A and B are shown apart, each in its own frame.
Chain A
Amino acid sequence: MLPGDFGQAILGQRALPETVAAFRKELGLDQPAYIRYLDWVGGILTGDFGQSFSGRNSSGMDRSRTVMDLLDQRLKNTLFLATMTALVAVPLSLFLGITAALYRNSLYDRVINATTLTTISTPEFFVAYILILFFSSLWGIFPSLANVDPRDTFDERLYKTILPALTLTLVIVAHMMRMTRAAIINLLASPYIEQARLKGISSAQVILRHALPNAWAPIATVIAFNLAYLVVGVVVVEVVFVYPGVGQLMVDAVRTRDIPVVQACAVIFAGTYIILNLIADIIGIITNPRLLHPR
């Protein structure tokens, strides 16, 4: 349960208890928890996330917006950033992971490992500011603000989003790349890998044809984990680049005790995790002939 109360927060410390009570009554906060919960679930099932608390004025006009309305553009922005990052980061980490496994323990492998470990060990806001320093302040190639607007064209949007996407890529590549490398190397001791080598198959083919198909399940799990992070965990990067995403919305809502918005964000975040993990599990099943083709 979130501590604090919206009525108290909005009306301030000096508000009269009666005013607070009246305000709570208007918002339905005086109802017992289970009724409010059932109302809320009922609403969600019919596609209604409710009305935001902010913008209400108990004495004047109601300028509040529906939660759906608030979320709409924010969610699109978040998904845009996540998709853009994923399209760069996932192929990049697979490529790096596979080549690192192929040339394991070589200089190449060590350089890649060291670099990705450095970027993942550095706090993301720091990575973000470093990128801003070089790419906007010093060289002026990309804007430091990613305040996208619904009226932006696709190209403008892309251009504004490059630095946040790059920051996130640097943050998530290490995890996926190292898992790909580890999952493949783990399999290289298998008898069937030795058999493939003894059939005269080249090292690259051994990894691509014989190791990788058996490594998809763990790799998919880690990819799903990181993609979920792109949707739910990027608030720091959003703040640095002033990017209007769901993360910022949720933090603002928490600050103002705007419960309906917080709830809606939580549902979206949880749903993202569940759906992505479900996809990872499905990939794990369809890449395993033992599960797909029972005896």
Chain B
Amino acid sequence: MNNKQKGDILLEMKDVVIDGFSDDRWHEIIKGIDLTIRRGEVIGLIGESGAGKSTLGKAAMGFAQPGCRLTSGSIIFDSQELMTQPEKQKRKLWGSKIAYVAQSAAASFNPAHRLIDQTTESGIRHGLMTKQDAQADAIELYRAMQLPEADTIGFRYPHQVSGGQLQRAMTAMAMTSRPELIIFDEPTTALDVTTQVEVLASMRDAVAKFNTAAIYITHDLAVVAQMADRIMVLRYGETMEEAETTKMLKNPSHEYTKSLWSVRSIEKKATTSTDKILEVNNVSAAYGKNLNVLHDIKISVPRRKTVALVGESGSGKSTIARVVTGLLPANAGEVLFNGEPLPAALSGRSTKQLQKIQMIYQMADTAMNPRHTVGEIIGRPLEFYLGLKGEAKETRIIELLEMIELDESFFDRLPGELSGGQKQRICIARALAAEPELIICDEVTSALDQIVQEGILKLLLKLQNDLGVSYIFITHDIATVRAISDEIVVMLEGKVIEQGMKDEIFSPPHPEYTELLLSSVPEMDPNWLTELLKKRATG
């Protein structure tokens, strides 16, 4: 048997067409893609949401995503044609020869079973291992994935371990049957950057150790650069460009590929002002009667400037927003707005005070009433705060729509008819309608694609210039911080680690945590992860 050598073709997809069902008919969502993977090779699939990455990744297993069908073309895995094979046959490959690692490990582990039972399930079901062997092997794999307490962690339920640990356990689960191909579907997208580094490193080691071929799906070029030997760029179900990783990073030939990291091209010169619009002094806060989640917070926001709140999930960023807006009254400390103390609770604040602080949310979808038209959504604060009615209100709504670079044709549309970026723009217009002095933006670009993100960030900068609003910008994405902020506040476990001008924070020396956070942000250099791990190991 000579066909198991590294470099031999493992999977060959030719002219694959996949249809998806929507609006009562079938649409082509993958339009004839070729993809070849050799044994031991890692290929990166990159593109925006809706590009068809996941669909293509699952098709490599011969699996049609729910609501999709494999229409034509050929998918040959290890000399078996998966396109026409019945599911019963393909099931013998799934979980044994080909494994899948999903985006959200938290949702993809069954809440009803212990980790180890799920890890060993495919090995036992496929008759590859006995239960004892499978459990011993799973524990070895947990250790290889550097999970803490490898001997016992498998006996916990999914909700008892952290997101990063789950993601590693899922990679271990994929490895149990020593597959020849693993499909990683955005495995680190839901993780914090600091966790992402560890997960990436252990996934890369595992793939190298067992000489597994892999398809690595992501929208983050810098991440894929660490993992893949070759990168394929997808857009609207078509291949834009395919090349060796180093070559593509150095010299992307396609316009679209270049635009993928365009957010990184926004540069804002950081300035500050001594005129503070908001000061948060020694604030502590807790949810209910629980322990404090904010400890002695002291930050300030200069007028007409942007302060970015950075930190991992759970660090208390959004809680600060809730304290400032009055949704969560602080236990201690005070919030000064324009030099005057704000009542802690929402109910104690005057309409004027409410009007001057507005908020924009991460999920534009859920932040708007799906039954209200755009005109009603934007018109509501105009009526409530400014008392505008009839003609005057309508004129103002159209003005606002122009401000967010949409036109009056949007007036009667419902949120469901808008794209993600357009929805977020409507939310911005709604905040602006109140004529606020301070807008709190809570992860407003996190759910959006790179190019759409760029548009929203540029719009926010332009509005700041024209209208002089101040922003508190909550995000975990360092690239966004670089693009938009004047000052930065770094947070960890409900405490402020440091606050300062952007240039100061980004230039060394850093406090330990800031150092960890900044160094964890993936860079385009394919050697970045290797170098970083080397550096961390030597300390």
Residue of B nearest to A193 (CB): B110
Interface residue ranges of A144-202 to B (CB < 8 Å): 189-192, 194-202
Given A191-B104, A289-B157, A293-B157: A200 and B113 interface contact (C-beta under 8 Å): no
Interface presence of A287 (CB below 8 A) = yes
Which of the segments B92-100, B216-224, B462-470 contacts the partner chain?
B92-100
Is there an interface contact between B160 and A295, defined as CB atoms closer than 8 Å?
yes
Q: What sequence of 0s and 1s flags, for each residue 101-132 of chain B, a beta carbon within 8 Å of any chain A beta carbon?
A: 01010011111110000000110011000000
Which residues of B lie under 8 Å from residue A196 when comparing CB positions?
110, 121
Is there an interface contact between B125 and A205, defined as CB atoms closer than 8 Å?
yes
Interface presence of A28 (CB below 8 A) = no
Is there an interface contact between B157 and A200, defined as CB atoms closer than 8 Å?
no
Is there an interface contact between A200 and B126, defined as CB atoms closer than 8 Å?
yes
Interface presence of A136 (CB below 8 A) = no
Which residues of A lie under 8 Å from residue B93 when comparing CB positions?
200
Is there an interface contact between A199 and B159, defined as CB atoms closer than 8 Å?
no
Task: For the complex formed, measure the closest distance between the CB of A98 and the CB atoms of chain B, giving whole angstroms.
Answer: 16
Interface presence of B380 (CB below 8 A) = no
Q: Name the contact of B108 in the complex, choosing from A192, A290, A293 (C-beta under 8 A).
A: A192
Q: Spell out B's residues near A (CB within 8 Å).
A: 58, 61, 63, 66, 91-96, 99-100, 102, 104, 107-113, 121-122, 125-126, 156-157, 159-160, 173
Given A289-B157, A290-B159, A295-B159: A199 and B113 interface contact (C-beta under 8 Å): no
Task: For the complex formed, measure the closest distance between the CB of A9 and the CB atoms of chain B, giving whole angstroms.
Answer: 56
Is there an interface contact between A200 and B111, defined as CB atoms closer than 8 Å?
no
Which residues of A lie under 8 Å from residue B122 when comparing CB positions?
199-201
Q: How far is the CA of A194 from the CA of B94 in the complex (A)?
A: 12
Interface presence of A214 (CB below 8 A) = yes
Which residues of A lie under 8 Å from residue B99 when comparing CB positions?
198-199
Which residues of A lie under 8 Å from residue B157 when comparing CB positions?
289-290, 293
Could you list 26 A-B pairs, sorted by A, with CB under 8 Å?
A190-B107, A192-B107, A192-B109, A192-B110, A194-B66, A194-B102, A197-B63, A197-B94, A198-B63, A198-B100, A199-B94, A199-B99, A199-B121, A199-B122, A200-B92, A200-B126, A201-B95, A202-B91, A210-B113, A213-B113, A287-B112, A288-B111, A289-B112, A290-B111, A290-B157, A295-B160
Which residues of A lie under 8 Å from residue B121 when comparing CB positions?
196, 199, 201
Is there an interface contact between A213 and B95, defined as CB atoms closer than 8 Å?
no
Task: For the complex formed, measure the closest distance between the CB of A188 and the CB atoms of chain B, giving whole angstroms.
Answer: 9
Q: Name the contact of B91 in the complex, choosing from A194, A200, A209 (C-beta under 8 A).
A: A200
Task: For the complex formed, measure the closest distance between the CB of B134 and the CB atoms of chain A, giving whole angstroms.
Answer: 13
Q: How far is the CA of A202 from the CA of B87 in the complex (A)?
A: 9
Which residues of B lie under 8 Å from residue A189 when comparing CB positions?
66
Knowing that A197-B94, A289-B157 touch, tell me 17 more A-B residue pairs with CB under 8 angstroms: A191-B107, A198-B99, A199-B121, A199-B173, A200-B92, A200-B93, A200-B122, A200-B126, A201-B91, A201-B122, A201-B125, A209-B113, A210-B113, A288-B111, A289-B111, A290-B159, A295-B159
Q: How far is the CA of A197 from the CA of B63 in the complex (A)?
A: 9
Q: Name the contact of A199 in the complex, choosing from B66, B95, B156 (C-beta under 8 A).
A: B95
Is there an interface contact between B159 and A198, defined as CB atoms closer than 8 Å?
no
Residue of A nearest to B161 (CB): A295
Q: How far is the CA of A72 from the CA of B353 in the complex (A)?
A: 70
Q: Taking each of A191, A192, A289, A295, which has the highest tally of chain B beta carbons within 10 Å of its own beta carbon? A: A192
Which residues of A lie under 8 Å from residue B63 when comparing CB positions?
197-198
Interface residue ranges of A64-116 to B (CB < 8 Å): none
Q: What sequence of 0s and 1s flags, for each residue 115-146 of chain A, a beta carbon within 8 Å of any chain B beta carbon?
A: 00000000000000000000000000000000
Q: Name the contact of A198 in the complex, choosing from B61, B109, B156 (C-beta under 8 A).
A: B61
Which residues of A lie under 8 Å from residue B160 when comparing CB positions?
293, 295
Which residues of A lie under 8 Å from residue B159 when comparing CB positions?
289-290, 295
Which residues of A lie under 8 Å from residue B58 when comparing CB positions?
198
Q: Taking each of A190, A199, A213, which has the highest tally of chain B beta carbons within 10 Å of its own beta carbon? A: A199
Residue of A nearest to B106 (CB): A191
Task: For the complex formed, measure the closest distance between the CB of B217 and the CB atoms of chain A, giving whole angstroms.
Answer: 14
Which residues of B lie under 8 Å from residue A192 when comparing CB positions?
107-111
